[in-house]
Amino acid sequence: MAVVETSKPSEELKSNTKTTGQTNTITLRIARSNPSEGQESTFAEFQIPVQKWTTVLEAILYVKQNFDHSVAVRYSCRQASCGSCGMKINGKPALACYTKVSELNSNVITVEPMNNFPIIRDLAVDFKQLISNHKKMKPFIIREDSEVTPESKEFIQTPQDLEKFLQFSYCIKCGLCNSACPTMATDESFIGPQGLAQAYRYVADNRDKGKDERLKVIDDSHGIWRCHFAGSCSHVCPKGVDPAMAIQLLRGYLLGFRK
């Protein structure tokens, strides 16, 4: 990869940010590529003024506003709720909106597209496979009387019942777990930690009756047996979903430890 571009902030921009707090200058290296046009990946470097609360996403948006508006980045909520801005930050998958520049303890920040996802352009990656695997897990309650009618009763759950699956329902489908997974790195047909964790979320829900259908989907040579409990998915999850735990508990159903 070659450096193609270096841009520095103007004195005017620097002084503007100085009015709101102490400002440091960091070097932001952004991976640029456009595979559909056969463009190889290169790095563009920008000097960015940052404060202690500046997030990596804000630094990227600063580049778009002041230096190069063509940098492709997907983002939306800016508060770790939408799962859009997943990328590799200094070599590790993380949400750009949830990572402060100051916590990286480096004056050089390198942002790249997440691994194990096809690149659309620059930092934006294609989520087709993740969404397709998520759908394969039938992410909905399966039962014959699932349509609530005026005559039907509520599906009552105790707090203990809820706790069995609640944390896994916090998945925002950001793809960080799939990007960190060592099996995803080599097996392009692997369901991935995101999909498997979602399978457990519904299997553990006592309102659901679709356990056998889901276990059939994951009991595959590219399914749950390819997970070797490296724990990297849980290491990078920004919402505390803990896919590694979900996968091991899910495997318990197939091994007969759980009913």
Q: Rule CB under 8 A: choose which of 101, 165, 171, 214 binds other proteins.
A: 165
Interface pick for other proteins out of 119, 130, 196, 218 (rule CB under 8 A): 119
What's the rounded Cα separation, in Å, for the pair 177 and 117?
Answer: 12
Instruction: Kindly state whether residue 205 participates in binding other proteins, applying the rule CB under 8 A.
Output: no
Q: Which of 76, 166, 212, 216 binds other proteins (CB under 8 A)?
A: 166
- Residue 186 as a binder of other proteins (CB under 8 A): the answer is yes
Which residues lie across from 109 on neighbouring strands?
A: 28
Tell me whether residue 61 or residue 82 sits nearer to other proteins (CB atom).
82
Nearest distance from residue 253's CB to other proteins, in Å?
9
User: Is the Cβ of residue 60 or residue 89 nearer to other proteins in the bound state?
Assistant: 89
Of 14, 78, 138, 164, the residue at the interface with other proteins (CB under 8 A) is 164
State how far the Cα of 215 lies from the Cα of 213, in Å rounded to an integer.
Answer: 6
114 binds other proteins (CB under 8 A): yes
Which lies closer to other proteins via its Cβ, residue 14 or residue 239? 239
From 161, 182, 207, 213, residue interacting with other proteins (rule: CB under 8 A): 182
- Count residues near other proteins (CB under 8 A): 50
**Residue number, 150 or 240, with CB nearest to other proteins:** 240
State which residue, 39 or 70, has the beta carbon closest to other proteins: 39
Task: Please say which residue, 140 or 170, places its beta carbon nearer to other proteins.
Answer: 170
The CB-of-230 to other proteins minimum distance in angstroms stands at 4
Q: How far apart are the first and last CA of the chain?
A: 51
Which of these ranges, 57-65, 140-148, 210-218, 251-259, lies near other proteins under the rule CB under 8 A? 251-259
Site for other proteins contains 178 (CB under 8 A): no
Residue 123 near residue 87, CB atoms below 8 Å:
yes
Query: Of residues 118, 145, 148, 219, which one binds other proteins by CB under 8 A?
Result: 118
| Side-chain half-sphere exposure of 95, counting CA atoms within 13 A | 19
Task: Please report, as residue ranges, which positions from 217 to 236 form the binding site for other proteins (by CB under 8 A).
Answer: 228-232, 234-236
**Quick one: which of 50, 57, 130, 184 contacts other proteins (CB under 8 A)?**
184
Q: What span, in angstroms and rounded, lies between the C-alpha atoms of 111 and 94?
A: 10
Task: Quote the CA–CA distance of 238 and 242 in Å, as a whole number.
Answer: 9
Q: Per rule CB under 8 A, is residue 156 in the interface with other proteins? A: no
Examine residue 100 and tell whether it contacts other proteins (CB under 8 A): no
Tokens of 209: 């009756």
